[in-house]
Each structure stands twice: as C-alpha cells, then as structure tokens.
Structure 1
Amino acid sequence: MTQFQEKVEKYAELAVRVGVNLQEGQTLIINAQIETAPFVRLVAKKAYEAGAKNVHVEWNDDELTRTKYESAPDEAFTEYPLWKAKGLEEMAESGACVLSIYAPNPDLLKGIDSQRISNANKAAGLALKKYRSYMMTDKMRWSIITVPTTASVAKIFPDVSLEEGTEKLWEAIFHINRINAEDPIAAWHTHNETLKQKVAYLNEKQYAKIVYEAPGTNLTVELPENHLWQGGGSVSADGVVFNPNMPTEEVYTMPHRNGVNGVVQSTKPLNYAGNLIDNFTLTFENGKVVDYTAEVGYDTLKLLLETDEGARHLGEIALVPHKSPISDSGLIFYNTLYDENASNHLALGEAYPVNLENGTSMTEEELQERGANKSLVHEDFMIGSAEMNIDGITKDGKREPIFRNGNWAF
C-alpha cells in the first residue's frame, strides 16, 4: 500500500469513527456524487468493519442535474419524491446516521433560470423538513466531509494539470483534517477539547450582544437569554459524541432573530445553488435584511433571501480564528464546509435548537418566542479577516474583547 493509499484509508476511517461515530448494528446513509464512488466504497468497507448493519448510498450526478435544469418542464421543479423523503425519515427514526461527501461544483447551474432553482430548493426543503430536523436537533448523528472532484480541482487550481491539482487538493485535505498526525483520531479528540475550552468560557459569560468591526462591517448581534455556544464534537440524543463538520475550527451560537443591526461585508465567495455570490453586503434592521448588494451573483443572493421570511434573518453566528489550518493554506475552496472554517461567519435561515438551553425539547412556537429563527434554508457566509475585531457586551453594558486582529483575544 502506498503512502497516499494509507492516508485515504485513515481519512475514510476518521469519517466513520469520529465523524458519524458509527455504532455496531447501526445503518449508515451516504450522500455522494457518482464521481466519488471509489472513496464511497472505501467508506462503506470501513463502516462494515465498524459493525454497520447496512450502508445505504444516495447517489447524485452533476451532469444529470444540469440536464434536468436545462430540459425538464417547469412542474418538475415544484415537486420532490415523497417516497424518498419518507424513506429517509424512517431510517432516521430507526437510528441511522448520515455522512455527506460534499463536493459541489460552484458553477454547476450558472445561466439556469433562477426561478427553477428557487422552486426546486423550496420543494426539497418542505419535503425534507422532518428529516432535516433530526440533524438540526442532533437526534441523529451526521457529518460532512469532502474529497476532490474534477470540477473542484479545476476551480481551486486553474493553472495546473488535473492530476497535479488533484494531488494538491488531497494533500490539503489530509493536512487540514489532521491525517498527517501519528494518530489522527487522537489528534481530533485533542482538537475538540481545545474548542470546548472556548465554548465553556463564552457560555459562562452569557454576553447580551456581540459587536463585529472590520472594513465594510459594523454589526451588532443580540443573543437570546440562555443561549448556548457549541463547538468541536456534538453529543447526539443517545449520548454518543460525533463531529458534524470535518474539518471544524468554529464555535457557534444562536443570534436573536430580531436583534441584528448594522452592515456586514463578505470576505469569501459563497457557493449557493450551483452559482457563486461574491463581494456582497447585507444591511440589517431589527434582525431583517433590508438592503443588499453583490458584485457577483446578485440574482442568486436575491433568490436565497426570498426563499421564505426567515431567510432574511440570521440563524447562526460562528467564531473562527484567522490563524487556522484552512486559512493558513491560502486557498479558497469554493466549498462552504472548508471556507466557513477559515473565517468568522454568519448563517441566514434556520437556527439550531441545540444553541438554546433545552431547545431540543421545545416546540417551534416556543423556539420562536425565545428568538430562534425558522426557515427552509441554513446558509453560511464568510465575513472574517485578519482585520476583524469582535467584542462581547455583558448584561451590565461592559465591553470585553473576544477577537483582536482576526484571532482569539482570550
């Protein structure tokens, strides 16, 4: 076995044993592009070695997706197969976990009628609402990873051959996910503990507000009473630790849906619905986006914000130091999983109930009464830089540093 093959094996095992933390007798759902089949087969092998009862793969194909958007009738985008949604719900209810191998083509739907994209997203969001709620409340274990694809390599490394670019991207993935450590699983446990220290500090503080200041950004975000910061490994409803995002460098919480004011400037491109949005600003008043600009992808940003009423409010704020493995790589991945973990970020749309004390046992109405946002979308976008300062405002009005020059100040 070559050194590269050994690393790929370790990566697959990490996804199974640390990402979803598969337990014996459990079913694993894998969402993946057909192009990633060789890696999916390896993950399935590792899952069965870990005691999986069954591995169910949900395949998708960019070429077929593009063909559908170009050629199918309009009504095809207003429905989602309910048998598929019901099947996923049943697997979630029976204790399955899900691994998504997220490798998006940022230009996949460039030039496609935005209304078709909007209709398809809404139809899927409505049909999969219950299934996705299992993940949003950690009632099922889930994880997202990435691997190189032809489209991602060409976008990230446009000036080298596909072979050289693929090698470079694999090495970046290995480094960022601690595969080069002597014991990657142990390295991840240590990393999670470091993030938990930040979480504990912020949860003890219970700041009333967070203030962001950077070129183009001056934003104040109110936090709900009894909000909870999370970061690193999560704990599922059955008490098993897992890592939803691999990699992860963030600690995150819930903003009050009506308590966001000011303007924020993006610092990295956002890949949404097969299109890029770049160099954009959002202006908030009482929690709602009331104005926006974008040098690239204005219509796509409009599509996102008009998904539903909640898409114009924030559901998450996340703190990520500028000094981190992803940021240090100097790469823009055009992949939110990676780019969001190189930068402070915010998310439009749905809030995580886990970010509120006892939130996972609350009804939708109770969550909304306490300031949680509801939406069919949850879309992260990057705002951090080496020039960003962040302060916490205590309940008695005292202002304390959280970030200075893009990094932790405590």
Structure 2
Amino acid sequence: MDPRIREHAETIVDHSIELEAGDDLVIQLPAEAEDLAVALHEYAGDIGANPVYLNNSQRAARAYLRAREDDFELPEHELALYEAADAFVIARSGGNVSEKADVDPETTADYNRARRPVQTERLSKTWCLTQFPTSGHAQLAGMSTEEYENFVYDAVSIDWEAQAKFQQQMVELIDDAEEVRIKSGEETDLTMSVAGNTALNDDGKANLPGGEVFTAPVKDSVNGEVYFDLPLYRQGREIEGVRLTFEDGRVEEFSAERNEEVLEGVFNTDENARYLGELGIGMNRAIDRFTYNMLFDEKMGDTVHMAVGSAYPETVGEGNEVNESAEHVDMIVDMSEDSVIELDGEVVQRDGTFTFEDGEGE
C-alpha cells in the first residue's frame, strides 16, 4: 500500500473526524478506494471504534435511478444507520466520472427530495468528505494518474494549523461585516447581507482538503447578477457559463452555455433551491489548478464560490432563516483579474490578493 494512503487515513481519523473509542463510524467509499477503506479500518481498530463499510457504486446508483418508474420513498433503513452513527467518511473516486450522465435530471431531483432527511441527518453528525485519486479523475483533470495522485496527496497533507491561522483573518473580517459585495469583470456584481450570520474556518475537517472561509447570506438579501466563469460537473455532465440573476434572494433568471437542462433540474428540485445557501472564499494556495472537482476547485486561492440550495445551519445566526433544500450546488467565480471583494464598502481582496497578505498593492 502507498504510505500516503495511510497518512491520508490518519489525517481523516485524527484531524478531520477526531475518532474516539466506541464511536460508530460509517465508511462510504467506492471499490476503487478499497485501500483507503483498509487503512481507515486499521486505525478504527487501533482506536477501538466500530466501522461499517458501504460500497458507494456510481454504476449501481445509475442502474437504480434508470430502472425506477414510481415515486421514490424515504429509505428509512439508511436514515436509521445515520441516526445511530457518530461519524461518517465518504470519498469521491471511481473509474468513470460520467457514469450517471444518462440519468434524467428530473429523476435525480425526485430522488434527492425523497432522501432529504437522510442528507440532513448525515450533516448533523461529524463527517468528512475527501478524495481518493483514480485514473478517471486524473483524466478529467487533464493529468497523468501519477501526477494526479501527487496533486491530491499534496493538497490533503498541508500544515492545517498554519492554514487555519491564515484563514482566521478572513473569518474575523466577515464576522465584523454586514454586507458583502462580489464584483468581477463586467458580468458579476452581487450584494448580500451576512448580518447576524457566522463565518466558518474550513481547515480540513468536514472537507479534506479544506481551505476556504464560508458563511450563509441572509436568505432574501441577495441581489444582482453573477457569471460563473469556471465550469462544474453535475450528474456526470459539464455545466458551463452559468449566469444567475437574483432579486430579493431568489434566482429569477438563469442560463447556461452548456447543459442548461441539468441546471434547470437543480432549480426544479424545490423552491429553496433557487436561494443562495452559501458564500465561500477559496484560500488554499496549495491548490493551484482547476481540476473539474468541486472538492478542490472551490478551495483555490483567487476564487469565490456560491451554492444554491441548503445552508449549513451552523453558519446561520439566531433570528435568521436557515435555507433548507434537497440541493446544495456550488459554482465558482475566478477572482484573479478585474475583481474585488468588499465588506461594508471596504476592499478586502483585489484580483485575488487579500489586504492582509504580503505584497498587497505591489
């Protein structure tokens, strides 16, 4: 076994989920990530935790979604598993990143609606989403398999204590602010209130790699237009050139240059899928290239991302409404050129450089 896999597992167990003796752990990985599952089981055994291993097969999921003809029902047995669990780990992996490309977006939306209580329960527990490198994701990223392995393991093994300190500077700025403005080029100019809400420091806990500061906007406060100039993969299909227009928090107009029907399926999932649940600011300088993988891409320095759909309850202050949806879809704006982030009218980032970084203004 590659020793970096055991190091990855150790980081998950000790840093991301802080596994303890007696904890009931759900490990949900595809077959391609079996080595990581083995390493996680070894650490769970050493600690005295109780693992359950689920094979997360995209081929099986595709077969089920294409075969089902009647309405989906809440999977009570799956819900019971997560109700009983203390923590869970899930990894993205697999040989074919487009495995579910021929599943109808409306079918996926119906499925997500039925499983929403499962998603809510999982997110209420200690959890970690990570990546196991495979040739499929390497191909998507335009890298050799070895190059992609190095990219992944370099990104998950940084000094997380130092990264947390760096990001904490942005947390404090947002927590002291009431209004955020994101401006980029001629097509993005968006304002939102964050008054009363909380910014969180993603230092490799729930996401590994981490590397962002994120919060929730006040639900009805988002106004303006945004152009997401970096694409995303959704249901095995690439969505490009997304444009959204917000009025009083709601997406009133949308378009995409490619696979717009997939985006429409997201917005048709439920009414709250048309509201913004998250604003995130990428701050991980170790992630220096776009790979068509949101787990990494949203953490890149020089980017911001916004997610339509559900908000993380811990980012929403008392008295503000938590946006609840079966969807949570992140999209990215490149902020490296002709861009600013403003907090209460003061610029805190220009062209990707934060005001608290060395070299600002040079």
Shift of the alpha carbon at 1:106?
A: 4.0
For 1:257 and 1:79, the matched residues in 2 are separated by 29
- Scaled by the length of structure 2, the TM-score of the pair is 0.90
1:109 to 100, 104, 113: 100
Preserved contact between residue 229 and residue 251 of structure 1 (Cα < 8 Å) = yes
Partner of 1:175: 154
For 1:150 and 1:62, the matched residues in 2 are separated by 15
2:235 to 270, 273, 276: 273
Partner of 2:164: 192
For 1:117-266, what aligned pairs fall within 5 Å after superposition? 117-125=108-116, 127-134=117-124, 140-157=125-142, 165-178=144-157, 187-203=159-175, 205=176, 207-215=177-185, 216-223=187-194, 225-233=195-203, 243-266=205-228
Partner of 1:299: 261
Shift of the alpha carbon at 1:385?
A: 2.6
Preserved contact between residue 19 and residue 49 of structure 2 (Cα < 8 Å) = no
Q: Counterpart amino acid of 2:178?
A: A
SS at match of 2:208: coil
Preserved contact between residue 275 and residue 323 of structure 2 (Cα < 8 Å) = yes
What is the number of equivalent residue pairs in this alignment? 351
1:290 paired to 2:287: no
For 1:45 and 1:151, the matched residues in 2 are separated by 27
Per-residue CA distance 1:52-99 (angstroms, 9 max, x = gap): 3211112121222233334x1312x612421121222122xxxx1111
Preserved contact between residue 210 and residue 391 of structure 1 (Cα < 8 Å) = yes
Partner of 1:408: 354
Preserved contact between residue 58 and residue 100 of structure 2 (Cα < 8 Å) = no
For 1:310-349, what aligned pairs fall within 5 Å after superposition? 310-321=272-283, 324-326=285-287, 328=288, 330=289, 332-342=290-300, 343-349=303-309
Partner of 1:43: 40
Partner of 2:48: 52
Shift of the alpha carbon at 1:25?
A: 2.1
Q: Which runs of 5+ in 1 are unaligned?
A: 135-139, 159-164, 179-183, 234-241, 360-365, 394-398
For 2:241 and 2:91, the matched residues in 1 are separated by 27
Preserved contact between residue 220 and residue 250 of structure 2 (Cα < 8 Å) = yes
Per-residue CA distance 1:234-275 (angstroms, 9 max, x = gap): xxxxxxxx7111112211111011111111111322222332
SS at match of 1:376: coil
Q: Counterpart amino acid of 1:145?
A: T
Preserved contact between residue 10 and residue 43 of structure 2 (Cα < 8 Å) = yes
1:389 paired to 2:340: yes
Preserved contact between residue 78 and residue 118 of structure 2 (Cα < 8 Å) = no
SS at match of 2:299: helix
Partner of 1:67: 63
For 2:324 and 2:68, the matched residues in 1 are separated by 30
Shift of the alpha carbon at 1:198?
A: 2.4
Shift of the alpha carbon at 1:100?
A: 1.1
Per-residue CA distance 1:345-384 (angstroms, 9 max, x = gap): 0111111221134x5xxxxxx5xxx243221222211113
Q: Counterpart amino acid of 1:286?
A: D
Q: Which moved more, 1:245-254 or 1:376-385?
A: 376-385
For 1:55 and 1:298, the matched residues in 2 are separated by 40
1:83 to 77, 98, 114: 77
SS at match of 2:115: helix
Partner of 2:329: 379
Shift of the alpha carbon at 1:200?
A: 2.4
Shift of the alpha carbon at 1:340?
A: 0.9
For 1:355 and 1:119, the matched residues in 2 are separated by 27
Preserved contact between residue 196 and residue 232 of structure 1 (Cα < 8 Å) = no
For 2:128 and 2:330, the matched residues in 1 are separated by 16
Question: Identity over aligned residues, as a percent?
Answer: 25
Q: Counterpart amino acid of 1:74?
A: E
**Kindly tell me: are residues 194 and 24 of structure 1, through their superposed partners in 2, closer, same or farther at Cα, counting changes over 3 Å?**
farther
Preserved contact between residue 280 and residue 292 of structure 1 (Cα < 8 Å) = yes
Q: Counterpart amino acid of 2:240?
A: D
Q: Counterpart amino acid of 1:324?
A: R
Tell me how large the CA RMSD over aligned residues is.
2.0
For 1:210 and 1:66, the matched residues in 2 are separated by 40
Preserved contact between residue 283 and residue 289 of structure 1 (Cα < 8 Å) = yes
Partner of 1:137: none
For 2:295 and 2:91, the matched residues in 1 are separated by 11
For 2:165 and 2:348, the matched residues in 1 are separated by 19
Shift of the alpha carbon at 1:130?
A: 4.5
- Scaled by the length of structure 1, the TM-score of the pair is 0.80
For 1:130 and 1:305, the matched residues in 2 are separated by 19
